[in-house]
Amino acid sequence: MVRTSKDSTSTKPPTKTRALTPRLSTKPRIALLLNGNARRVTNHLVDKIAEYIPREDIYYSQTLEEAQSFCQQIYHHRYDIVFTGGGDGTLQHFISEFESNQALSSHPLPLPIIGVLRLGTGNAVASMLSAT
C-alpha cells in the first residue's frame, strides 16, 4: 500500500577525505517522498517505482500536512537513503522537517543520503546536480 565496499587492493596510500555520508555495510533502507502536486508525479509513475521500492516505503503526499507527517515517519523509520520526488520545495521541506525532528530528539539521527528526482516545476537543485 502506498501511503496517501569492499577492501581496496590498491597500493596507493589512503587519501584523507571527510565522509559526507555514512558508509553502508548492509542493504540500505530506501524511502521515496513524492509530492502528489508535482507536475510529473502520477499514479503510473508510482506503479513503476513500486517495481523497485516496496510500496510501504513510498510516501505519496497530497497536502503539506501529509508531507510533514511523512517526513516525521521517514525520520523515525531511520532510512539510509531518501529520494524526494517533486521540485526544489519538496527537497527543502524534507530537509527542514528532518532538521526539526533532529532538534526535538535527545539523540538526533544523522541526515540520510538524499537523492533528488526531477519531477516538479522548480528543479534548480536537480539541474545543478545534472539529475535527469
Q: Are 74 and 82 in contact (CB under 8 A)?
A: yes
Please tell me the predicted confidence (pLDDT) of residue 5.
39
d(CA 118, CA 131): 7
Query: What order do you get walking across the sheet with 81-86 strand by strand?
Result: 58-61, 30-35, 81-86, 113-118
Q: How much is the pTM?
A: 0.76
Q: What is the mean pLDDT of residues 68-95?
A: 94
Amino acid identity at 96? S
DSSP bridge pairs for 31: 82
Q: What is the mean pLDDT of residues 77-94?
A: 92
